[in-house]
Amino acid sequence: MDVLQPVIRPYAWGSRTGIAELQGRPVPAAGPEAELWMGAHPSAPSVVVRDGAAVRLDAVIAAAPDRELGAECAARFGGRLPFLLKVLSAEAALSIQVHPSRAQAQAGYQAENAGGLPIDDPARNYVDDWPKPELLCALTPFEVLAGMRTPADAMELLRTLRIGRLRAAGVELALAGGAQDALGCALASILSWPAGDRGALIDEVVVACSRVTSGPYAAACAAIARVAEDHPGDIGIVGSLLLRHAVLQPGEAVFMPAGGLHAYLHGTGIELLANSDNVVRAGLTGKHIDVPELLKLLDPAVAVPVLHPEALGGGVVRYGDRAPEFRLFRVDLDGGAKALPGTGPRIVLCVSGAVVLRNSAGDTVKVGRGESAFISAADAGVSGAGPGQVFVATAGL
């Protein structure tokens, strides 16, 4: 077992308080802190101390994959830790984005390599050949746009807003037939809006949203108005109309499969995903945008229900069973030792109190609030004792 030295990603949309507060550092932080990475992705691997030396976790795993991952996990995932655990803390809206399936990621990665695009080129969509299903569990109220509305719901919202330009361009007409692929057509029409008229369309949408102060679309319209403050002049503001709006309460979660359109808006949460950083964006960002590729990956029918944890007894809950790369558990440790859920490699993140982890050989590590540890497959019989609460990420074996 190893205490992790995670990596903070300072993306511009990050909060200056969420991660710092969790780690017990002074707030506000000196700059935005968007994501805390705990894992072995090669672009930002955590560090562990082995034999008195600081070593990257991906290097540790590569040196002995069967020992660190277990033979089954190593064989199934090519000797790679299959998941990446994050704390995500958003002060401003993230980009509108989708993630690829495994086949799409492999094809896209190979094509960009064959085209001679350097791995660190900002124009790359695919920085690895892995899919990126992900699960977001709220630590604070967390506002999201996740999944597309039904055609009927999108049509009703546009009728409520009475946006003349969208009606004249046939966007409402495209939705009127009710076919699910009409959503993709409507999104394509919005994202390809003539540059000379985009500003006027965005202004019209923001003014229309500001008029909606009651009814079923009031919260979504207020969110879009706030997004417009974060990303003025971005056509993604208009595209956001087609996305479902929700506010997750602490302990609630959403699972985002391949092809699901989404944008996280505000809050702090636990994010567990396949060990990938493949993102294809359509708006609300200064990073590379590739609308044709996003539309190719988009699946408008992807449903994104709010997930509630499944109680397994003894203070342990599980968040679904939806991806082969990962599972997420939350464990309340009330003082007595309790076996940790999961098998194979695990990462444990303490979110309250302080926890002592012990394996069957009697080795121990202590993790306080905001700290994390890597448990290799060779660490048998690991238990935790609090008081405290931890999230446990493990492979979906």
Q: How far is the C-alpha of 137 from the C-alpha of 239, rounded, in Å? A: 25
Task: For tokens 């809206």, name the residue.
Answer: 93
Question: Residue 189 pairs with which residues in a beta bridge?
Answer: none
β-bridge mates for residue 374, sequence order: 2, 347
Beta 243-248 vs 346-358: how paired, if at all? unpaired
Catalytic option among 281, 327, 346, 358: 281
3-state SS assignment for residue 262: strand
Q: Report phi then psi at 368, rounded to 5.
A: -95, -175
- Residue 272 pairs in a beta bridge with 85, 135
Residue whose C-alpha is closest to residue 124's, from 115, 132, 137: 115
Going by C-alpha positions, the residue among 355, 386, 387 that lies closest to residue 373 is: 355
The single residue listed with the structure tokens 């959403």 is 254
User: Could you tell me how many helices (H) and strands (E) the chain has, helices first?
Assistant: 13, 23
Taking the C-alpha atoms of residue 92 and residue 294, their distance in angstroms, rounded to an integer, is 22
CA-CA distances (angstroms) from residue 258 to 159, 241, 351? 30, 21, 28
Active site residue 165: no
| Angle, alpha carbons 30-237-209 (nearest 5°) | 110
What is the helix (H) or strand (E) element at residue 186, kind and residue range? helix 181-191
Element (H, E) at 48: strand 47-50
Q: Angle CA(101)–CA(275)–CA(315) in degrees, nearest 5?
A: 105
Whether 105 and 126 have beta carbons less than 8 Å apart is answered as: yes
Give the helix/strand (H/E) hosting 346.
Answer: strand 346-358
Contact at 8 Å (CB) between 274 and 82? yes
**What are the catalytic residues?**
281
